[in-house]
A and B are shown apart, each in its own frame.
Chain A
């Protein structure tokens, strides 16, 4: 999907989406030269910020793996990437039915904690998956993504009785989600 495109998370058969997963996978960029095996470790972090009326009320990231209400869960910090072998190295699971009623938007972000830009990261992607059937709803390729250390990926927001997803894909710079707050607010 392209930037700014919105897709409804209503299923084709009319049932609403109940669980989505944001997945993040990458491999470290190998060194050129003699010591090719000495790759630089790259630590990308996935975060989800929960907003109520444009105010952040909770966040799920490597220091706070489960939102207080339990609806958003992070599978745990991965410091080096590559273990998923094409799969997700970090994932955030959202149980949409259990999200507290005042939360109306959830923004997903990716940060490079170790400071490398996305240009140096290999095979990096982030994606949103319908957790109930494994179907991929959206996918971004981060690798070669320019001189940025962060990306505001997408948001899911309430629409009517269900949820909608909007792809954002806005590049930004910052080490953790806190640094991204000024960049997130305009996309709410």
Chain B
């Protein structure tokens, strides 16, 4: 009797939980509530600016005036604008050539640094320097290097070696200016590629190389059949990042040439800024920026699907 009575009392004391408590005990709601802060941050700092940029691209906003909806007018104008197409061409060219250069030299550097050499860690730290220096600083350094009157290269070739009579005009005409900027970008991008690939190289087990050595493999074969396939996953990631960074590069070009001479070195990013902020045509700048998105999506998907296929990485053929 006693036991039953106390059991009843015990159950009775347990009041129905308050509705708020019940709500928070309900898993779907709890998950939703916990995610809210993150969603809020993403909305405020990612979705809103991106959405605003896309909205602006379809208006005629200028600095100091809200835009009206004009549909595709900005894009139609851009389609007929030779400066825009020249910037598209140069963006793709710049990205392609600089990426090839960065990966060729970066991989080579990574392989060298992967060897046992004296002062290994010091050397690795030094290699990172171009990447650590703020881009604007290195851009200004290159601006001096490429200066028409004060270039150290011109000075060395003309005044010290006496190989030429006139100074180089690095930035004064279309193609020399384009190549000069690509060289600066490669110089700046190598460390990122080299260090990340070096990290990838370190994960490859030495026993694989030992086994290959026992089988009498050559250096090239070891690179081709061990290093390269095992490096591919990280290569895919690094290349994706590298392409995105290069395609959206702004500081180097803007600090060195402002897109000149005669707009020949405008990248889409610099042209978007030029039109949008100094030029005040906010909507047109936004339209150019939006036009970059398909290229970036394509580059990302390409790297992701072409280079990151699991089967291929593991040495099997694709189905």
The answer on A and B forming one complex is no
